[in-house]
Amino acid sequence: MSSIKQFQVTFDCAEPERVARFWCEVLGYVLPKPPEGFATWDDYNRSLPPEDRGAWAACSDPSGVGPRLFFQRVPEGKVVKNRVHLDVRVGTGLVGEERLAALEAECARLVPLGAVRVQLLPADDENESCIAMQDVEGNEFCID
C-alpha cells in the first residue's frame, strides 16, 4: 500500500473568500489563478447561478510544500470548539522569553487582519508557550 503524500485542509465557513484571504495573509499562501477564460475570480463568479457565487475558495503554498486550504460555504454557523485546528509554527526552536516575543509579534501582526487573541497558554513542565487565537469566522488556531 502506498502512503498519501498530499492532503488539503477544508474549512466550513460562511464567507469562503474572506476566510481564504485571511489565511493567505497568515501563511503567505496565494489564491489560484481564475479558471481559463476568466480574467478575475469576480468575472468567474458572475458567470455562475446566484446560489453558487462565492460558494468556495482555495489557497495554496506558493512553494508547493504546504497543504492546499479549501474553504466551502455551509449554511450553519460554527457552534462548538473545533476538533481539529492549525498550529502556526513561529516559535519552533525558541524557548522562554525569546519564544514569547516571537509569539507576541505574530499575534500583533494577525489581530489587525481580523484574528482574535483568546489566551496565552504559558509553558509548563511538558509544553512550551503558545497563544490560542480565532480566525475571522471564529475557527480556533494556535500560534506555536
35-91 tens-digit pLDDT: 999 999 999 999 999 999 999 999 999 999 999 999 999 999 888 888 889 999 999
Cβ pair 88, 27 in contact under 8 A: yes
Cell numbers at 135, concatenated: 480566525
Domain co-membership, 16 together with 58 = yes
Quick check: helix, strand or coil at residue 30?
strand
Task: For residue 99, give every residue at least 6 positions away whose Cβ sits within 8 Å of its Cβ, in sequence order, or none.
Answer: 91, 123, 128, 129
0.85 surpassed by pTM? yes
Residue 3 forms part of a structural domain: no
pLDDT at 1: 66
Task: Compute the CA torsion angle 67, 13, 84, 136 (nearest 10 deg).
Answer: 90
| pLDDT number for residue 6 | 83
Range of the domain at 48: 8-73
81 domain-assigned? no
Report the length, in residues, of the chain.
144
Percentage with pLDDT > 70 across the chain? 99
**CA 144, CA 136: separation in Å to the nearest integer?**
19
Question: What pLDDT, on a 0 to 100 scale, did the predictor assign at position 77?
Answer: 87
Choose one of 17, 39, 73: the last residue of a domain.
73
In a domain, 51, yes or no: yes
Tens of pLDDT, residue by residue over 25-36, are 999 999 999 999
Task: Report, as an integer, the average pLDDT of 103-111.
Answer: 97
Is residue 52 assigned to a domain?
yes
Higher-confidence residue: 143 or 6? 143
Number of domains in the chain: 2
